Amino acid sequence: MKIVVLGVGNILLSDEGVGVRAVERLRDDYILPPEVEIIDGGTSGMEMLEDLAHADHLLIVDAVRSGQQPGTIVKIAGEDVPVFFKTKLSPHQIGLSDVLATLVLTGEHPGSTTVIGVEPESLETAMALTPTVAAQMPKLVGILAEELRALGLTVAGKA
Amino acid sequence: MGTRITIDPITRIEGHLRIDCEVNGGKVTKSWASGQMWRGVEQILIGRDPRDAWAITQRICGVCTTVHAMASVRAVENALNLEVPLNAQYIRNMIMTAHAIHDHIVHFYHLSALDWVDVTSALKGDPAKTAQLAEGLSSWNRNSKHEFAAVKERLAGFVGTGQLGIFTNGYWGHPAMKLSPEVNLLAVSHYLQALEIQRYANKIVTILGSKSPHIQNVAVGGVSNPISLDSQSVLTIERLMAIRTLIDQLADFIKNVYVVDVSAIGAFYADWTAIGGGVTDYLSVPDMPLDTKGTVFDTPGGYVTGGDPATFKPIKAFGDPYFRDGVEESVKHSWYKGGKGALHPYKGETNPDYTDFQDNGKYSWVKSPTFYSKPAQVGPLARVMAGVATKHQPTMTYLNKVIDTVGALAHTKIPLSALHSTIGRHAARAVMCAVDVDSLSRQWDLLMANIAKGDTKTFNKPTFPKGEISGFGFHEAPRGVLSHWVVIDNGKIKNYQAVVPTTWNAAPRNEHDAIGPYEASLLGTPVADPERPLEVLRTVHSFDPCLACAVHIVDSEHQEIVKVKVL
């Protein structure tokens, strides 16, 4: 089994980098089984083809603008995932959606895809998350761990 | 008054680019290129440790991660007059050439070929005739009737679902699409094969850079790859042999498929060798250093004016004052506070001043760089010009192969001047991709030979003096000349500017109101149907635009709302 946890976003644009920060934190704080691959995708596209090919499940973490209060954590799953990509709520998804469309063409697309999103407060040029979004980080990383457990994996926090 | 066409955004590129054209009598008579994103990354770097700048700058763009890392360490090394051990040069060179190869293959097959190749027509192609055609062009072992039949079947299944997916935004059936169903089937088959092959190039970057897309192994003063031929965790003989195999597979595809396909498409669209030229002053820099100081290079670079290689002025070394003193950027037509005239990058400012799109005023987030006060075109075509001027053997070998193949297929003699065109840029990219894979192979040999001599040094420790120093680093990136400029005061960054390839090519009008390379290249372009301006896209795509590093996100509040579950 291959499970990919993909953090996407630009860490130079404050809350835009929340996905990357979340997967770093997941990797640092949890003991993950070998079938889980953590990928810091940044804003890249076709470079991720090999990493995402043949994943049984893809868990994407990203800044998502869905009109909620800043810091709100949302989940997009099932038939809403393609709609999510179509509306391009986040600027770098043009790359990621192209990668996934390409994997459909090559017959290597992930078995299922879930997006965990965080409503950003600021996309200004800065390397730190806003306090609002940073405060949500423990909850966010906990949700990612729960998502992995729901797939039947053993995920324990590091002591 | 003609028809005004606004294409916003240009698709199948990285970042957000808007192109405006005025069309009169079926041809473009006036044009504007506008970057719709703002780049403020330079401000993040101020006050930081120069040794960290490379890791931050590689986050500017998702496509060009490694290139910013390389230009950044070179800028700091230049400021410190720091030499780089040979092993580190070779390892960096291998990462750079592998990255460039990845970029070129993806650009041609996956981002721009669909401007010329009609996917829906490929469904009518006859596999046997396609195989006959392909076997006459190349000895590639995956050009069989069986392979083409399988692709056709797969494609029919895909299109039959009603979801064109990755092919959705094509101009299928456009009158400017001229290839036969068989040539289209051949190209689509190679599109699919290229999806596999490009991963080999990325694997090389991953092995050497520890990770991809963001490499981890670069350092000011060298690389952090320990070399030990018998240890498991480092650059071992096993890993180096794996890279060798990948290089050979890439070389086979590039020489027997990519170069051949570009030649064939060039021949079938020979009229496009007379369209899309524009600015014919070309700037490139030498790269793939073969010594510790950066004075001897595997590929040449310099400045050519008027499209004439005889005018070539070489750029000779890292730190060459001829390059350093020639570069300026104007913001007269860009959304930044100006009024000081064109500024040298050491003095560059990035303070936003958005006005809306003004045809005769400010209209882009991209600054307008000049070389000795003139716009310059950068990219693989500029490298080819430098290669012709210096009689660089690898460049001449593959350039002659392309010119001969196009000539034979089009039954005419192709002059060198045909390169100053939309098709010429694609041909030049394929030529340089072949040059790069040979260079990659050579860097591998050099690294192995140097290690065999007992040299395992990969790093020279930097020390920062008190007071102010400045430096610049250049890199001949896949899209052309990239330069980073740094001013360091007491060991901290005081000013930082990145002059990126797309800034050169997508430049708006400059201090003297002269138009930039994209804008100039569009003048005279025929437009059959202003509602479907495929011809404009062909020329813009031929530059391989990458606006993400030229720039920031435009917020769009009007977004359709997706159903989300709040957690």
CB B351 within 8 A of CB B335: no
B433 Cβ contact partners less than 8 Å away, ≥ 6 residues apart: B100, B101, B104, B105, B254, B258, B259, B380
Say what the pTM is.
0.93
Return phi, psi of residue B147, to 5°. Answer: -60, -45
Confidence of residue B171 (pLDDT cuts 50, 70, 90): confident
* The CA-based dihedral angle spanning residues B180, B186, B188, B194, taken in that order and rounded to the nearest 10 degrees: -150
Q: Which two tokens stand for residue B307?
A: 């499209």
Q: How far is CA B423 from the centre of its chain?
A: 15
Residue of B nearest to A16 (CA): B553
Domains of chain A: 3-157 (3.40.50.1450)
Contact map slice: B 292-331 vs A, CB within 8 A: none
Across the range B368-394, mean pLDDT stands at 98
Is the Cβ pair B562, A95 closer than 8 Å? no
- B542, pLDDT greater than 80: yes
Q: B209-267: per-residue pLDDT in tens? A: 988 778 889 999 999 887 766 554 567 888 999 999 999 999 999 999 999 999 999 99
pLDDT at residue number B3: 87
Domain boundaries, chain B: 14-34+41-542
Which amino acid belongs to residue A20?
V
A101 Cβ contact partners less than 8 Å away, ≥ 6 residues apart: B165, B166
- B401, pLDDT greater than 90: yes
Is the Cβ pair B40, A125 closer than 8 Å? yes
CB B204 within 8 A of CB B94: yes
In angstroms, the CA A81 to CA A83 distance is: 5
* Residue B199 contacts A, CB cutoff 8 Å: yes
* Residue B102 contacts A, CB cutoff 8 Å: yes
pLDDT at residue number B551: 35
Enter the ipTM. Answer: 0.88
By percentage, how much of chain B surpasses pLDDT 90?
Answer: 75
In angstroms, the CA B364 to CA B349 distance is: 16
Q: Which of B480, B485, B458 is nearest to B469 (CA)?
A: B485
In angstroms, the CA B336 to CA B365 distance is: 8
Return phi, psi of residue B527, to 5°. Answer: -130, 110
CA distance B162 to chain A (A): 13
CB B15 within 8 A of CB B37: yes
Q: Which of A25, A86, A11, A23 is nearest to A58 (CA)?
A: A23
Is the Cβ pair A45, B110 closer than 8 Å? no
Is the Cβ pair B195, A48 closer than 8 Å? no
User: Which of B40, B195, B564 lies closest to A74 in CB terms?
Assistant: B564
In angstroms, the CA B17 to CA B410 distance is: 34
Confidence of residue A89 (pLDDT cuts 50, 70, 90): very low
In angstroms, the CA B176 to CA B535 distance is: 8
Cis peptide before B9 (omega within 30 of 0): yes
In angstroms, the CA A31 to CA B100 distance is: 36
Q: B338-359: per-residue pLDDT in tens? A: 889 999 999 988 888 989 999 9
Q: B99-129: per-residue pLDDT in tens? A: 999 999 999 998 899 899 999 899 999 999 9
CATH code linked to domain B14-34+41-542: 1.10.645.10
B359 Cβ contact partners less than 8 Å away, ≥ 6 residues apart: B32
- B560, pLDDT greater than 50: no
CB B69 within 8 A of CB B77: no
CA distance A136 to chain B (A): 11
pLDDT at residue number A123: 84
Across the range B67-79, mean pLDDT stands at 97
Across the range B360-378, mean pLDDT stands at 96
